[in-house]
Structure 1
């Protein structure tokens, strides 16, 4: 009983260590409670055959204590390795082929085990190998042992299973025979941490501090749209997977957060806003939302006020019907040109002067009216004389008369930039200067379209 007390004290120390030590992996602790069998034959010693002879001869060689006779505690260290300590007791009646009188058997052993479970890819069946040492007392005489272990765990769930183990214990003293010890027991794994209480151990929990779902490795899905918060661009609003978890109220394929018109289906190019007439301008900014028009005219088509086929934006005479060739302005025809010069030839001046006579006012008024009909056309007012007098005098007089007519036209509403004045003197006669009538024809003013 003295050694039994030692065994229980040692196991209490091991259990105390297991409860005091911090756990940071899934169920790092394992406790096994069960029964053991000790076999002192054969081990290959003292002429008792070779090792493993009659290994399964249970009835002749195994010493079995059917009650609770072994307890072990181990802790997972990482990378498949764990360290454990075990205590066992038994009653020896068979010493090889010899029957003995109920010798007591006590053992304390430490073992480093390596799990093969991950290598074979099976979570239920977990074989392992172990090596370690311990101290064994038989009939209160003790000796150290070097142990080799082979066993397997058969797990029913994450925490409970059965353990089957066979250990070869080589004794360092002659008075203790090398022997086998077989163990079977109920194993319980425990100690896994679940900080956020979501039922997923921290080791496997990608979000250990926030309660989440098993489907997302312990991470949350706040809005319940099937997309975990870390991958959800709108974690607090249920949305669509194709929009990274964001909602699309109007169903136009643009997430509400990026949609300038979230309640009305629209176009991606216009940030989710509609364009009914397809002119590239959102309906909200389009002054003519149902009629296509350019942005420069706020979405409305350009008008053609005068109906000449030239849009007002391009029409230099938007209120006067003209021709496309003349940018929407009316063109001066040969007929008009002829009429102008017929009027211009009737302008009268005081003899030898550039002063326009009063009776020419009516004809000048007609000329102004014609010029106003062609607001973009430019004209040259030309002055001509007969050959009477010197060339210099005639040149000077023709310049003065041309400018006099130009000034009159400007003063009566014709833009100055449209007119130029030029005197030709007697250089361009249209009739003979030998007769009075011919000279009268040569004294004239012409108004010609500038080329």
Structure 2
């Protein structure tokens, strides 16, 4: 039965919506709670209902209703032992139009009820008929007064002597309608039923038919019209401007101009864009190198970009144009040197040297610096190597000899300046070799090389007594001896600070 009621309700909604579609009828949904009382013979009790519905046209409406009644049947048994929940569908016939100040109506419906009576549960269909009055207060709220006669049927009589019985109910309530009326979906002030342009954007001025204002009558509404005063009859484009307009004066009408903002006097092609004779993407009027070869990368001025050292910084911006390949550089093309000690970051063993300290070739100051530890070296609480031992990077000798190479002497002169900046320290000058040759030969070679470094430094102002030459041969490698690159790293001179 409930399914049949729902199908009937849906069919009535569809039929009413079709009827009201082209008319300005208030078909908003409403919800209407009410309370009252019910009676049958001498039995009386409270009741309440909740309805949800809408008008389908000016005089006809439909609603779904749920209600509950409880009667005092103390003449039969204990008080309030008769209850009646009900679910149904109602049709309403309004006797006055929707703008009347008072709207009487007739109501009829079909329902399905559930009755609990003397510990028995009964159920069955029912019908009702009655009348009511609506007292509209505003566009949303109304008072509602209603009375009905209900005739119920039951499937099995049980203790009830008849399979039909009646019930009167009277209720007082309110009804609330959702949404605005009359409906105006685009909010332009013109009801949907009169609006010929129902999708006008919010805030756009419209005529009485709901369509956007077009003062020059060119077919482009004012809110889209970039030329709102076009003479009558002039053909216009989608922006409302005459098709023969040439806003930038380059001789190409706007309708064909792909570059409508070209500066005055600039030569353009058929598409209205500035000429670019060499095709480098920089128009001729800005191109300082107008004959660039095809495919050549250019800068903003149209000139070829050169990067001689391949560090990613063009030559005209590169302050260090001969940076070795693979060297990390900053925006100026110079090697990155975060602590400003003159040693690039990628070879700096003390990348955070305090400002002002003189450093050795590995980027470390002999005193007051933090050297990155080598694998396995002990460190202090800051993670700095405890051993103050520094590699004199770049100090090399002739093959199988203790004679310094010319470039090594340049480096050692800078080392001498650094040592003279720390007159309180003493150092061991340590010589190391790779594993090629016998242990004894390598030990002797490393001693001679350390003595050669000591002598060169002493001739450049470092007190000889501060330098103790020591040879270690191949006993302390810092890299593998299986590759040439590893052996070269092992052939080195180190300083170890012993005092100061």
TM-score (norm 2): 0.32
TM-score (norm 1): 0.36
Greater relative contact order (CA < 8 Å, ≥ 6 in sequence): 1
Question: Which structure has greater helix proportion?
Answer: 1
